[in-house]
Amino acid sequence: MSKLGWIRDQQAKLLAQARETPRQFVERESHYLWGRRYLLSIVEKDAKPSVSLDHRRITLSVRPGSGLAKREEVMLEWSRSLLHEVVPALIKKWEQRLGVKASGYLLQRMKTKWGSCNPRAGSIRLNSELVKKPKDLLEYVVVHDMLHLVEPTHSERFVALLDQHFPTWREARAELNELPLGAETWNHSVHGVESAARES
């Protein structure tokens, strides 16, 4: 299969995945963090919005009258901060193991991919939805994208390097592709898929 054919096949699998229903950010709603399910608790108080976590519950504190958009914004900012706490250490770990240097990383909500790499710039992009997935799956995406700094295409050499450095990558990829992506309005246009494919 050609590289573009492989990319389109992977994107089709992602688009066909079960989608989460849109979150309403209401009391006792289920939310996922690092592969575990938590119940949301809403606290309204006249203070700066915040989020806290215990072993079963995510508590979202917002000002009285805060609507869905504000609640979502606070939760997204918090979940991105969790990724920013773990991603730099993962990158540093794999820079040493792979003998490469990433110029930086970007968190972004992506419609059809879990991550991407720009080998020329030396940067990687990670889907911010990864905060919902088990941490070993986040690590797989980081390793996959950083290996593109060594081998830009999905060549036999790339697969051999994945086998060498992350032997369970096939299982990780299969698990990631079975997990639901976040709920959004999805644009299934061919142009959008090709644009995403060209960026890989």
Write out the H or E segment, with its range, that includes residue 191: helix 190-199
* Domain residue spans of the chain: 3-21+76-199
Per-residue confidence (pLDDT) for residue 20, from 0 to 100: 63
pLDDT for 111-154, tens place per residue? Answer: 888 999 999 999 999 999 999 999 999 999 999 999 999 999 99
Residue 196, pLDDT above cutoff 90: no
Could you confirm whether domain 3-21+76-199 is CATH 3.30.2010.10? yes
Asked if 146 and 98 touch (Cβ cutoff 8 Å), the reply is yes
**What's the average model confidence in pLDDT over 164-176?**
93
Q: Lowest mean pLDDT: which of 16-25, 60-69, 116-125? A: 16-25
Q: Where residue 193 falls among pLDDT bands split at 50, 70, 90? A: very low
Residue 30, pLDDT above cutoff 70: yes
Burial 64-99 (b: 16+ CB within 10 A, else e): eebeeeebeebbeebbeeebeebbeebbeebeeebe
77 contacts: CB under 8 Å, gap ≥ 6: none
Residue 103, pLDDT above cutoff 50: yes
Q: If you search the block for the tokens 């939310």, which residue do you land on? A: 31
**What's the average model confidence in pLDDT over 155-170?**
96
| Predicted model pTM | 0.78
Per-residue confidence (pLDDT) for residue 175, from 0 to 100: 87
Torsion sign across C-alpha atoms 196, 31, 36, 13: negative
**What's the average model confidence in pLDDT over 2-21?**
62
Cα–Cα separations (whole angstroms), residue 2 to 65, 128, 156, 190: 53, 28, 12, 18
Residue 19, pLDDT above cutoff 50: yes
